[in-house]
Amino acid sequence: MTPAEKLIDWTARWTLLGNHLLCTECMAAQPARDADQPFAHGQCRLAPAGIQYPWSDLWKTLNELPVPLND
């Protein structure tokens, strides 16, 4: 999966609202300050996927994109 495909996959499951990250299925939210904690879903089909750290997943994916450091 390319970095762009990973980003598309991430945005299908998660969204950012202010400094919170939300699950698009159950709308459970996690503030950025709790990014090092496992995400707590509500009643959600994504919950059985195991322990999830979506902030970390986003950070890793963004760092894989070919963004120039200097313009």
Instruction: Give the footprint of Zn ion on this chain (CB under 5 A).
Output: 23, 25-26, 41, 44, 46
Taking the C-alpha atoms of residue 16 and residue 3, their distance in angstroms, rounded to an integer, is 18
Nearest Cα neighbor of 46 from 34, 54, 37 is: 54
Closest approach of Zn ion to the CB of residue 58, in Å: 15
Judged by beta carbon, residue 21 or residue 61, the one nearer Zn ion is 21
Judged by beta carbon, residue 27 or residue 65, the one nearer Zn ion is 27
Judged by beta carbon, residue 45 or residue 66, the one nearer Zn ion is 45
